């Protein structure tokens, strides 16, 4: 297991280096300048500013400087969005709200999704099943900004149960954005668990469990649930991606001072170092999720536990 | 002898999109205490459905009892509630399935899978159940059972898994054990070991066994009596000797002729021509008539009743009607009948 994780970490580092390189050059190709009102500056003034951020060095030099900093954990300095602030500090200071709504959304979505999927499978082809399918379709096909706006309007504005936006009331502020983020994992989990449960319920070992005299609920929870749950781990990765991309929009709509909101703004003002830093941060996050998913797989599924990881 | 289980006029259908599949069309048999009754017949003849209906393991949404009863311990199993059935399953009647690779729960240690029926049906503590489970594993020939209790199914071979399934099925000393092709998925040597094990255990706990198989060699090895099924019906039933050496139904003749044997040096294998009847729309009369070279006009019109050959032997074919003409069975069958005292080809003791 240790060897397996070691190998995975090496791959992670390589993947990150590739992502960093790719993003770096992509940034350089894209039009737009991080220097605000660039056209109003005289060429001399402009050169001064560029020199300050090392933007006048030849591209390879810039690249190696950047990668060298990266290895030391230095993501550079914000050019215009947070003038002069350390990118690492900017990201860390904004992690809290993002992590909170992301985690709450994921948890709420997965738990409700699993419940919904289970009920649908156990009550196959009844109205319960059909309604759960409809919820799943809605959750997957309607984008999160639509949910976010609807939640904001109905639960926030009309009913006044939760703050409409901003990050001022602690947990209460996090409720609506979390619900908006939860829709995608909810729908994904519900669909997935339903299919898996139906498949598992028709397998031989379930028939044998029945033949032993197990009751309906024992069959569902002692025998089927765990076996249906294991494959769900494989979609945790895509679900995390969904949460991440969702957060870009949802944080914007609810004006939450998180990483997503800051990332979107940094793109609008072409703050290279913030864009790069956030991209790398997101990549690290996703790669870690995938690694954790694989390790979890090994812990939950005894067939993988002994053979030392899936190849 | 004491009758443990009686299946009377059982009819069962599946309601499917294509229509009503009449899978069981009037099955009658008794199971006696301590005996092994083999059910043979080609694929789709209704062997599994018959036994699953005894256990009530068929999908409730589509399977429907149309007629008949299954009497066990003075009760009709077709009429019991789910709760009552759960008390019988695994305790009084238990089952072994064909594929040991898929019949154990992959994410549950086998110890828990064996103690499950014990804890469910008997008033014993977890540690007592554990002891019983270890004894059971030892009984089915698993080396070092204490160490293996915590292991998962994938850590066992196919033969070992079938031993575990047998241990589970015998946990509560059932009166009836249903084995649906328990050795089909195993290789020949393991197959022989499992059969020996089942025979041994049967003597020890005096259970009655219904043994489904395609393999007539296995039947000769394990069974006391044989029921031959065709198209959702039993067409002939008798002791092993009666079925093997004095068969009366043309379908049984076909089955026996297609069995490779050592004493007839004949290498060519016989295959019964044609296909099994369509159970969505079963033919009028004898379902085997269309495939039988012995079919008579009446076979196309009326379903034959059972004719009694001896106290233990019955067959459903018009050939046994007093007015039917005498026909010659296939040569290989005549060879067999020569060895059976009481058959019309008997030639005295074979040696
Ligand atoms: N759930 C079901 N729905 C509809 N038809 C079914 C169902 N289960 C079985 N049948 C039909 O019932 C008939 C008998 O099937 P059964 O499984 O008892 O055959 P079998 O004698 O056990 O065959 P095999 O030797 O292949 O196991 C078949 O025609 C089959 O198609
Ligand atoms: Mg079968």
Encode pLDDT of B80-109 as tens digits. Answer: 999 999 999 999 999 999 888 899 999 899
Question: What digits encode the pLDDT tens for the residues B146-186?
Answer: 999 999 999 999 889 998 999 999 889 899 999 999 888 88
Selected residue of B82, B103, B111 to mutate for chain A interface (largest A Cβ count, 10 A): B103
Residue of higher predicted confidence among B238 and A167 = B238
Q: Between B45 and A1, where is the model more confident? A: B45
Distance in angstroms (rounded) separating the CA atoms of residues A116 and B231: 42
Residue A310 is predicted with a pLDDT of: 38
Please tell me if residue B343 touches chain A, with a CB cutoff of 8 Å: no
Average pLDDT rounded to a whole number, residues B329-343: 81
**Distance to chain A for B60, nearest Cα, Å:** 13
Spatial separation of the C-alpha atoms in residues B180 and A211, rounded to whole Å: 13
The pLDDT value recorded for residue B330 is 82
The pLDDT value given to residue B265: 56
Record the pTM: 0.81
Using the Cα atoms of residue B229, residue B230, residue B234 and residue B235 in order, give the sign of their dihedral: negative
Compute the Cα dihedral for B75, B79, B80, B86 and give only its sign.
positive
* pLDDT value for A188: 87
Backbone phi and psi for residue B30, each to the nearest 5 degrees, phi listed first: -115, 150
Write down the pLDDT at residue A34.
64
Nearest-neighbour CA in chain B from A88: distance (Å): 43
Taking the CA of residue A230 and the nearest CA in chain B, the distance in Å comes to 10
Residue nearest to atom 24 of ligand 1 (CA): B43
Give the residues of chain A that fall short of pLDDT 50. Answer: 308-311
**Residue B280: what pLDDT?**
82
Neighbours of B196 (CB within 10 A): 13
pLDDT of residue A291: 83
Interval B38-53 mean pLDDT: 93
Q: How confident is the model at residue B297 (pLDDT cuts 50, 70, 90)?
A: confident
Q: Which of B72, B48, B76, B53 is nearest to B64 (CA)?
A: B53
Characterize B283-309 residue by residue with b for buried, 16 or more Cβ atoms within 10 angstroms of its Cβ, and e for exposed: eebbbbbebbebbbebbeeebbeebeb
Q: What pLDDT does A71 receive?
A: 82
B258-270, pLDDT tens digit by residue? 776 655 555 566 7
CA of A252 to the centre of ligand 2 (A): 60
Q: What angle do CA A37, A38, A39 make, to 5 degrees?
A: 95
Helix ranges (H only) for A123-232 are 127-141, 144-151, 171-201, 204-211, 216-218, 225-229
Residues of A in contact with B155 (CB under 8 A): 306
- Please, are residues A144 and A109 in contact by the beta-carbon 8 Å criterion? no
**Which residues have C-beta within 8 Å of that of residue A282, sequence separation ≥ 6?**
A244, A263
For ligand 1, residues with CB inside 6 Å are B 14, 16, 21, 23, 41, 43-49, 59, 62, 279
Overall average pLDDT of the B304-333 stretch: 86
Q: Tell me, what's the pLDDT at B39?
A: 96
- Report the percentage of chain B scoring pLDDT > 70: 96
Tokens coding B286:
């004898």
Give residue A227 CA to ligand 2 midpoint distance, Å. 25
Read off the tokens for B285.
Answer: 């009369």
Tokens of residue B217, six digits: 């060699």
Pocket mutation for ligand 1, best pick of B46, B53, B66, B214 (most atoms within 8 Å of C-beta): B46
Q: Could you write out the DSSP letters of every residue in B114-144?
A: HHHHHHHHS---HHHHHHHHHHHHHHTT-SS
**Alpha-carbon gap, residue A212 to B112, rounded angstroms:** 12
Identity of the residue in A203, A211, A303 whose CB atom sits nearest the CB atom of B94: A211
How many interface pairs between A and B have CB atoms less than 8 angstroms apart? 73
* d(CA B48, ligand 2 centre) in Å: 4
The residue among A245, A279, A261 whose CA lies nearest residue A25 is A279
Q: How far is CA B257 from CA B8, B32, B265, B312, in A?
A: 30, 29, 13, 23
Residue A172: predicted pLDDT = 64
Q: In this complex, do A303 and B105 lie within 8 Å of one another by their Cβ atoms?
A: no
Instruction: Look at A209 and B154 and tell me if their CB atoms are within 8 Å.
Output: no
Average the pLDDT over B66-76 and give the result.
Answer: 93
Residues B112, B113, B114, CA angle at the centre, nearest 5°? 90
Give exposure, A172-185, as e/b (b: 16+ Cβ within 10 Å): ebbbbbbbbbbbbb
């Amino acid at each position: 297991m240790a060897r397996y994780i070691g190998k995975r970490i090496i791959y992670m580092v390589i993947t990150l280096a590739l992502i960093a390189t790719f993003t770096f050059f992509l940034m350089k190709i894209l039009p737009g300048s991080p220097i605000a009102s660039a056209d109003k500056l005289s060429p001399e003034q402009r050169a001064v500013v560029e020199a300050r951020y090392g933007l006048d060095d030849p591209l390879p030099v810039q690249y190696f400087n950047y990668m060298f900093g990266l290895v030391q954990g230095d993501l550079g300095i914000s050019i215009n969005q947070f003038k002069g602030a350390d990118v690492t500090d900017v990201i860390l200071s904004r992690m809290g709200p993002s992590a909170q709504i992301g985690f709450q959304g994921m948890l709420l979505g997965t738990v409700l999704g699993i419940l919904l999927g289970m009920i649908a499978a156990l009550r196959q082809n009844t109205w319960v099943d059909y309604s759960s399918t409809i919820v799943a379709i809605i959750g997957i096909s309607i984008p999160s900004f639509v949910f976010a706006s609807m939640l904001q309007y109905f639960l926030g504005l009309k009913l006044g149960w939760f703050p409409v936006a901003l990050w001022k009331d602690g947990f209460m502020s996090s409720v609506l954005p979390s619900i908006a983020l939860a829709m995608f994992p909810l729908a994904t989990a519900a669909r997935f668990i339903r299919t898996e449960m139906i498949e598992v319920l028709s397998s031989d070992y379930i028939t044998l469990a029945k033949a032993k005299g197990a009751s309906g609920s024992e069959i569902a929870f002692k025998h089927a649930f765990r076996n249906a749950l294991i494959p769900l781990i494989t979609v945790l990765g895509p679900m995390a991606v969904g949460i991440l991309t969702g957060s870009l929009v949802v944080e914007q709509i609810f004006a939450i001072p998180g990483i997503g909101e800051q990332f979107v703004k940094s793109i609008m003002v072409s703050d290279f170092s913030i864009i790069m830093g956030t991209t790398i941060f997101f990549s690290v996050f996703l790669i870690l999720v995938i690694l954790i998913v694989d390790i979890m797989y090994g812990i939950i599924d005894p067939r993988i536990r002994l053979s030392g990881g899936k190849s | 002898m004491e009758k443990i289980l009686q299946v009377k006029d059982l009819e069962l259908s599946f309601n499917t999109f294509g229509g009503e599949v009449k899978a069981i069309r009037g099955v009658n048999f008794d199971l006696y205490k301590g005996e092994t009754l083999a059910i043979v017949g080609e694929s789709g003849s209704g062997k599994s459905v018959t036994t699953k209906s005894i256990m009530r393991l068929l999908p409730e949404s589509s399977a429907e009892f149309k007629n008949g009863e299954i009497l066990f311990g003075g009760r009709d199993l077709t009429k019991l509630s789910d709760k009552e059935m759960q008390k019988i399953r695994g305790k009084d009647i238990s089952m072994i399935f064909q594929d040991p690779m898929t019949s154990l729960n992959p994410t549950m240690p086998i110890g828990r899978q064996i103690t499950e029926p014990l804890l469910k049906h008997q008033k014993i503590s977890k540690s007592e159940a554990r002891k019983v489970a270890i004894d059971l594993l030892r009984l089915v020939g698993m080396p070092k059972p204490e160490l293996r209790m915590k292991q998962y199914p994938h850590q066992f071979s196919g033969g070992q898994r079938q031993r575990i399934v047998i241990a589970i099925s015998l946990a509560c000393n059932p009166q009836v054990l249903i084995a649906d092709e328990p050795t089909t998925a195993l290789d020949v040597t393991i197959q022989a070991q499992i059969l020996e094990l089942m025979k041994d255990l049967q003597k020890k706990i005096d259970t009655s066994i219904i043994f489904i198989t395609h393999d007539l060699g296995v039947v000769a090895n394990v069974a006391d009596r044989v029921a031959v099924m065709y198209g959702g019906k039993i067409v002939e039933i008798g002791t092993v000797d009666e079925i093997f050496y004095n068969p009366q139904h043309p379908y049984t003749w076909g089955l026996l002729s297609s069995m490779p044997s050592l004493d007839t040096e004949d290498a060519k294998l016989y295959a019964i021509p044609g296909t099994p009847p369509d159970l969505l729309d079963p033919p009028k009369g004898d379902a085997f008539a269309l495939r039988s070279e012995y079919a008579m006009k009446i076979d196309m019109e009326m379903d034959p009743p059972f004719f009694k050959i001896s106290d233990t032997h019955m067959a459903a074919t018009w050939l046994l009607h007093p007015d039917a003409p005498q026909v010659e069975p296939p040569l290989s069958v005549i060879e067999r009948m020569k060895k059976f005292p009481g058959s019309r080809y008997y030639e005295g003791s074979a040696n």
